Structure formats: C-alpha cells, structure tokens
Homo-oligomer: A and B are copies of this chain.
Amino acid sequence: MARPRPLSPADAGFLYAETREAPQHVGTLIRLQPPEDAPPEYLRGIHERLRAAPSVVSPWNLRLATPWFQYNPLHAWVEDEKFDLDYHVRRTAVPAPGDERELGTLVARLHASPLDLSKPLWELHVIEGLEDGGFALFVKVHHSLVDGYTLTKAHERAFTTDPDSAQSRLFYDVPLKTSAASDDLAASWADPAGLLRSAGQAARALGPLTRALTRLTWNRGPLVGTFQAPNTPFNERITRNRRFATQQYPLARLKRLAGASGTKLNDIALAACGGGIRRYLLELGELPDAPLVAFVPVNIRPEDDPGGGNAVGALLASMATDVADPVERLRAVHASTTEAKNQFVGMTPEAITAYSQTLMAPVGLQTLGAITGLGTPRVLFNVVVSNVPGPPEPLYFAGARVVAMYPASIVSHGLALNITLFSYAGQMHIGFTGCRDTVPHLQKLAVYTGEAVAELEQALALES
C-alpha cells in the first residue's frame, strides 16, 4: 500500500467547512441520448458494464486516513482496501412524467445528501425514467478531492469524441493528482519542520493579501469593494435542503452579443444572471437599491494543467441589478469586471493563492470579515457565479451522446445561491444550486435568466 498522502491546506479546508447544512461536494448532471438503434436492454447493459468495471484508479479509490477526526490538522488520503464499487455506483429513477421538473427535484435531493467521509468521496447515480428516452448521470465529488475544473477535465478525458466507439469509461477511470501541493507535503508527514516551512510560506502570503484586500475595500469607481454588497434573501442562513434548476443557450448567441456590445462572453453571462436576479427579486419585493455583488472564482492554473486538487482565485464584480435597461446593465457589468481583472492581475501569485484559501472555503467569510474588520454579519458579496470552461467537441459514452452537462455546486450560510456556467459543445449550460428553504422558486430564476438573454438581443437589435 502506498504511503498516506497529506492534503494541502486548501483541500483540507473543505473538510473543516463541511457541515450538515453545507456539505462541501460539487456535482455534475450529465444528460445522455442513447444511439438511435439502441436495443431496449441498452441501459441495463450499461449498468452491468459499470458494475464489472476494472480497478478504480487514484484518487477515486482513496479515503481519508482519519474520517472520524474531521478537524484533523494533518488530513491524509489512504487507499480504501475495502473499496466497493456497488456502494459508489447507484441506480435511481425519476418518477413520471420524467420531465425537467422531476429530474431537478431528484438531483436536488441527491445533491443535498452529504458524502460518507469514511469512504472514497464520490458517488455516481445512473438515472433512468426520463421522458425524452435518454438517461442521466449525476456525479458527486467532494471539493477536498477535486475542484470543478478538475472534475470537468476528468469527464472530458473519460468520454470519447468518437460516436461509433463503444467506450464506456467514466471519470473514475481517469488518474489524477489529488492535491496540487501533495508532492511538497508528502515529505512533511514525517517531517514536522517541512510542514512548518509550508505553513510559513502561507503566512508570508498574508502580507500581499492584506494589501490587496485593503485596496479592494478602499477603492472608488467601478471596481466593487467589499463595503458595497447589499443584504438580500440569498444571504441568510441556509438549511440542509436544496433546489436545482438549469438553463442553456447556444454559445454563438452569447458571442454575438459580446461582439455587438464590445464586451466579453463572461460579461454577457453575468449581465444575464443579473437581469434574471433583478426580475426575480423584484417579484419577491426584495430588490435592494445597490447592485448585487458576484463572487467570481477564477482558475489560476496554467491553461494546459490536467487538474488535480484545488487551484482557484476569485474576483468581485457588480451584477448591475439596479439598472433596468439591459444594455446599460451590461455596460455597468463590463466596467466592473474590467477593473476587477486589473486588480486581480496586480496581485502576486502568493496573494492569489492566499486569497483563494481565504475566500473559497465558506469559513473564509468569517476570516475575511475578521481580516478586514467588517465582522461576520456584514454581507461581502451576494452570489457565487463560476464559469468553468468545458470541452468544445461533442462527447460520447457507450455510443450515447452527451447532450448536456450541468454543474451543481456548494451553497453555505450567507451564500444560499450558486450559479455555475459550463460551456460544452457549442452550448453554455448553467446550473443553479440554491437552498430550498432560503431561495424559493429557483426554477423561475432559471427561466428569467434565459429571458434576460433574449432581452439583450432585442435591445441590441440582434435576432435570437
């Protein structure tokens, strides 16, 4: 058996942050359409192939060395010698009529349920009973094992681009490094001095981080600072229950909008989300005067990084929810993200890493509150909006076409709504993850966000 592999502090942070109300796993809902000539027993055959899978590779066969000690300062991965594929790969079915609504309800329940920390931290649910004749996979992976970017890369590498291939590989056939820091830290397991050194490196990053946050806080102009986020229903305490809704647009529509307005694709997405949220909050009678602030995680890996562990930074941007006119809203978003990017570029790599470690874990809210002297009750930002770039080409699994991939993400106290965008095969897919009891009628928000894109097109005189 291989030696224990210590988790990086960032990865371990997601274990410390795990609570019943805020489990720290991410998900992917993958919708598939079997080949047209698929026999009736096609799906059954897939189950049998999945059950008879070859050995599961690292990190998918790893479990925590001390699952009973959630706050272990030295968490490590060890191989699960009792690995049982039947536990991780599960079949389930959507009740009639098998439509979007029923699928969303099922996924919300699956996503609400925490992973068993004593086993390898992932589950795969094979979902049947969809009215379109297709099936779906819902994958849950703990954020301490991989981030959304890495999970995406694993899906991309497991699936094939060949529609005629019978290949039925899934993410757990794809080997990954479990932690960006694990090689450095592996030695420190038996070397406390080494561990102190790496803690020292993290501490040294606090200087640039504090300076960056101070600039952020005191800044004037279009850059969004942490003083500016209004209170909204999205920033209440959450319960353990979830809702999940989806939306998608052709990427070409968004790109045409970006081109016509001289903005970026991300600006279009943020402005559409802002438009959807504006209408949603107006209906609830809860739209604040000040614009909502989005927390936008940014991948800080080199472009060719195969993924593994966590490597993300973040920036804050206005969603311009105070602006009624769609084009003006887009301009306000664009001005805000342009400034924020400059801000981000100005940070040193250490500062970006520390920023990530401070902000990405939900406990980071408190830490950030403490650092900036704002205190925890203060709302620093309202909504997390991630954009994870996915594969551009259509993918296939066992001859079935992957027709859509929607991300499901983490919500936490004070951040009851997460919007994650995922581009795949010419479509922008959006997964809305919300606390069931804090964010009512999440489905409406998905619909309004779709309509906000059409509004922009109309305002810019583009045909949709």
A contacts, CB < 8 Å to B: 20, 43-44, 87, 90-96, 102, 105-106, 109, 113, 116, 118, 126, 128-129, 239-241, 436
Alpha-carbon gap, A106 to B92, bound state (A):
8
10 tightest A-B contacts by CB?
A93-B93, A91-B95, A93-B95, A95-B128, A93-B129, A116-B240, A113-B113, A92-B95, A118-B239, A93-B94
Provide the residues of chain B in CB contact with A20, threshold 8 Å: 20
Alpha-carbon gap, A44 to B87, bound state (A):
32
Provide the residues of chain B in CB contact with A43, threshold 8 Å: 96
Alpha-carbon gap, A44 to B102, bound state (A):
13
Alpha-carbon gap, A93 to B95, bound state (A):
5
Query: Known contacts being A93-B95, A95-B92, is A241 close to B116, with CB within 8 Å?
Result: yes
Provide the residues of chain B in CB contact with A92, threshold 8 Å: 93, 95, 106
Alpha-carbon gap, A241 to B44, bound state (A):
25
> Which residue of the partner chain B has the closest CB to A436?
B87
Chain B nearest CB from A89 CB (Å) reads: 12
Residue in B87, B113, B129 whose beta carbon sits within 8 Å of that of A129 in the complex = B129
Residue contact B128 to A87, C-beta cutoff 8 Å: no
> Which residue of the partner chain B has the closest CB to A106?
B92
Most buried by B among A90, A95, A96, A126: A95
Residue contact B96 to A44, C-beta cutoff 8 Å: yes
Residue contact A87 to B241, C-beta cutoff 8 Å: yes
Chain B nearest CB from A19 CB (Å) reads: 11
Residue contact A96 to B241, C-beta cutoff 8 Å: no
> Which residue of the partner chain B has the closest CB to A127?
B95
Residue contact A102 to B91, C-beta cutoff 8 Å: yes
Residue contact B128 to A96, C-beta cutoff 8 Å: yes
Alpha-carbon gap, A260 to B94, bound state (A):
50
Alpha-carbon gap, A129 to B87, bound state (A):
22
